[in-house]
Amino acid sequence: MAFEITDSNFKQEVLDNEGVAVLDFWAEWCGPCRMIGPIIEKLSTEYDGKALIGKVNVDENAEISVEFGVRSIPTILIFKGGKLVDRHVGLTTQAVLAQKIEAQLAA
């Protein structure tokens, strides 16, 4: 299951993380977010132990959303070593996200 990232645990779980972290910015009322949700859950299982796959509810965690300029959801942010390295806005496929994660794991 995807890890819940909040304003309070973001620094510890993402910025202080030396590895790869993938964050799905979403909201309960967002149709495309509900469509990408199962993809994020599959990726969290597939990359368990290799990358942190997390979800950020934008309605409950505005601080992170504002800090990284998330204006449309779903937005996927990929971090490596605590630095933002990739961003995808809108609905996408599991294959596209897996390719982005693999590229960061290999780098």
Q: How far is the first Cα of the chain from the last one, in angstroms, to the nearest whole number?
A: 25
CB atoms within 10 A of CB 26: 24
- How far apart CA 19 and CA 37 sit, in angstroms, is 22
- The single residue of 5, 21, 33, 53 carrying the catalytic annotation is 33
- The single residue of 3, 17, 30, 89 carrying the catalytic annotation is 30
Our answer to whether residue 71 is catalytic in this structure is no
Going by C-alpha positions, the residue among 81, 86, 94, 99 that lies closest to residue 40 is: 94
Amino acid occupying residue 39 = I
Our answer to whether residue 30 is catalytic in this structure is yes
DSSP class of 19 = S
Please give the positions annotated as active site: 30, 33
